[in-house]
Structure 1
């Protein structure tokens, strides 16, 4: 202000002016919570099949919120039965935590399943979120849940999904090793990842994790919502809806333009493997045994 307009002001006055400007552009935090029920109702009306749960405490203050879009519910049966779970902080004056559940579609795109908001990552909030998640998507055979090593997530999975396999994100597990044992270095990173992805390690998993060894897709969602997490809750939910709609539109157009029997990602992998395979030499079993005996 001093450089541009020649006006000298104290830090607190500049801060208050900034907060007032942001409130004019984004809306008031208190008013946003009052508008949330109306927004969620209209979201459900305009997206038939969408499931929404809003819970308040005894004083009618916000407590929990759960949202699963109709498109996600319809598409879940076509995705691999692996759900990645994560929670991240909301950067507002009221705080709170954003819960996410996601998977990957056949073309290896991020496929959001459900979102939730609670006070923090505690046993009660995670239990409520997992309960609503199971009510929405049920439990598929051979289902696996991937997350970090948060104890509340583990407790909630044991209560709600006792038959599902709970796998740890390998990078969170690696960080735990570094913190607890004080071991660092590129050799540790390389050898740990190799060991985690080795077939003799993965064969001990009671269900298939496919290629989903980390919770990176959840971290990607958190990164995409980084700016939205600073907004009032209703504005944030509109930003979230807009993001999911863009992904659905983009991935849907790509799928409609696919004319092979498999997805674009799978077709690319098959072609690359075929190109490598034509350079291989094939020997009969007798020839291999003869070479071994001679050597």
Structure 2
């Protein structure tokens, strides 16, 4: 397994000093740190083109899977390697086929929500026959609405992205060595005077709060309402399969807390928390963010993964 094995640590005072010394240079170095990890993954994939036919990418919510998959495609193209993408979301079954939790609600995060036999068959057909037909799932209609054919050659890389991508149940055991598995998440804690001010999971929460607010018309309270079950689903369905990964990517950009102090903190302050069950968590996040300096949105490069969570992302 390559890249990072466990959470790393950033010190708040060092980040603030980096921002004061050379803000643009520091932002560029943070971007480069992430990009170098992606390039290292690309090198591994290209080195095994023809053997590792399918790249499986998994990670918890707001890890940057979508943007990273796109960057992988661009970098592969620059090296003369064709690629296609497959979204595991297209293999969802109708909700009435989902497992039911003890409280009577559907377990939307269970791997059994996917059409596993068809998924395994599609992967096998791509590897053996160089073609398959995958479904299309419409989340508005909550059902499969059609199909699309995928045709590849022996050197085409298939990138399959989804929260369950590393679950061994998705692939036939006899073809397991034809897959390259990537796990992406934030892996860095932010520390001040020996205390964790923002954990790696907190950073993903801040990303998701911004993304939901700007792009899903969802209030902070609504995001926090869901966050507990999101994390429980991660602990049950995603993290146990980290050890399956051939490569780990830490999508943390060290300047993020300073950016969120500038862009998210004012929105948190303006939100009415008095009668919210999330008041304590909101206050903790605000208290954490004020320990960081400021970083304006316009200094974040247009092609940055972090743009996925900001106001002007398209």
- The alignment's TM-score, normalised by the length of structure 1, stands at 0.29
Larger radius of gyration: 1
- The alignment's TM-score, normalised by the length of structure 2, stands at 0.27
Higher relative contact order (CA 8 A, sep 6+): 2
The structure carrying a bigger helix percent of its residues is 1
